[in-house]
Amino acid sequence: MDMTAEVDHIAEFVRGRRVGFVGKLGGMNRREAYDLVRQSGGTPVDQLDDRLDIIVIGADELPAEDDTLISDKIRDAAARGQIEIINEDVLWNRAGLVDNQQDVRRLYTPAMLAQLVNVPVTVIRRWHRKGLIVASREVHKLPYFDFQEVATARHIAELLDSGTSSAIIERKLQQLARAIPTAERPLAQLTLMVEGRRLLLRQGDGLVEPGGQRLFDFDDHEDDAGDSDPACADDSVSETIAFQVPSSDDTAELTPDDMVNSAVDFEAAGQFDSAAEMYRAALMAGGIDADVCFRLAELLYLQGDLTAARERYSVAIELDEDFVEARSNLGCLLAELGETELAIASFRGVIKCHPEYPDVHYHLARILDESDEADEADDHWREFLALAPDSPWADEARQRLGFDSTVGSLD
């Protein structure tokens, strides 16, 4: 991998400094990171001690609150200003990997992130809207996520796999943010665990519930202790949360923003019909809005109403012609309906507006292959790989182009 540009950006930051890495890196492997530090005039060090100048925490680890990652001695040195402890994404920002507004490589679109953590893309969008994951940048309403957000999304997905419902996780994380105001994003900054069906925060040598109540942490506590103690019971024990559909009198008192927030809650609870009605109410109360139309289109698509979804995507684009995710989704929907020429036109419209959008090059390459336009498809497969060499779909592109699937990028 050619790291000349990265070295130019990072040299001033690491030159003459001893740099250690802890945890699993998300952006490159340990050897590549060491080479980058050496080429920049720094010294990569395997042994973590208080003589280091910089410690980089891998994006696939929960940061420094975990005592198993960083010792108290190193923490004390950092507190005295002798060591700088940073997350991996900070280093790559210094290297110019995620801060360049003309380069989206090593960033992930909602669809890519959804594929990586195996959840629907609508769930990724909801996490983003609720602030559980934070975009590194946005282009024409399209969020891009960096390495740290990939790790954060994976942790949320792990909580889902544990049996805790999405609605409960979202609500409890928001409560944790209020209980621990110094942590702007609890899941990225703090060590969370699931105990029975409760979501708990490890803080020091104890545990904290979402409401802020401290608990004792016994090494040999029973798995079902929380369920058997009435004092610990709350509504998080339920697997689902039911929301009451507001009456017409209630909705008259809600602002359009309130209605959108209610729709998001309904959606998180899987009550798609009620969510769609609240989005429609928001449009009627607050006037036509491109983002709300897009959200409604997503719901309608999930419900299988492709005709209505197509109409709402079209309205969103009419209201904001640069809404690239709406254009892309409309193209995918048109392809699903068998309207190939319209789908191709839609994808080309996205590329004209945002040439660096990797997902659209991928979708366009596939549909061009299906239309026996192999030469033009090749161009878009190559562009897709150049923009997203680490995408979960990159191996498909390499195989299609006859490249070695072990090659990490085209650089």
Identical topology for domains 4-94 and 248-401: no
CA triplet 134, 114, 297: central angle to 5 degrees? 90
Alpha-helical (H) ranges within 110-211 are 110-117, 121-129, 147-161, 166-179, 186-189
DSSP characters over 131-148:
TSS--SEEETTEEEB-HH
Token representation of residue 159? 């909580």
Give me the CATH code for the 248-401 domain, please. 1.25.40.10
Distances in Å between the Cα of 180 and the Cα atoms of 141, 145, 234 are 30, 24, 20
For residues 256 and 279, what is the distance between their CA atoms, to the nearest angstrom?
A: 9
Q: So where are the chain's domains? A: 4-94, 110-237, 248-401
CA 322 – CA 309 distance, rounded (Å): 18
Can you read off the two tokens belonging to residue 200?
């708990």
In what helix (H) or strand (E) does residue 19 lie, and over which residues does it extend? strand 18-22
> Which is nearest to 361 in space by CA: 322, 331, 403, 318?
331
The residue behind tokens 């954060």 is 152
DSSP letter at 46 equals: S
| 8 Å CB contact between 149 and 132 | no
Residue at 244: amino acid letter: Q
In whole angstroms, give the CA distance from residue 68 to residue 62. 11
Closest CA to 232 of 249, 253, 252, 210: 210
Residue 200: the pLDDT is 55
Look at residue 157 in the predicted model and tell me its pLDDT. Answer: 82
Q: What is the pTM of this model?
A: 0.58
The confidence score (pLDDT) of residue 261 equals 87
- Tokens encoding 111: 């669809």
The CA–CA distances, whole Å, from 39 to 33, 356, 411 equal 10, 29, 18
Please state which CATH number belongs to domain 110-237.
1.10.1660
**Residue numbers in the chain where pLDDT is lower than 50:** 1-8, 61-67, 98-104, 181-184, 186, 189-191, 197, 203-204, 208, 210-212, 216-245, 247-249, 251, 405-411
Burial of residue 321 (CB within 10 Å: 0-12, 13-18, 19+) is: middle
Fold assignment, 4-94:
Rossmann fold (3.40.50)
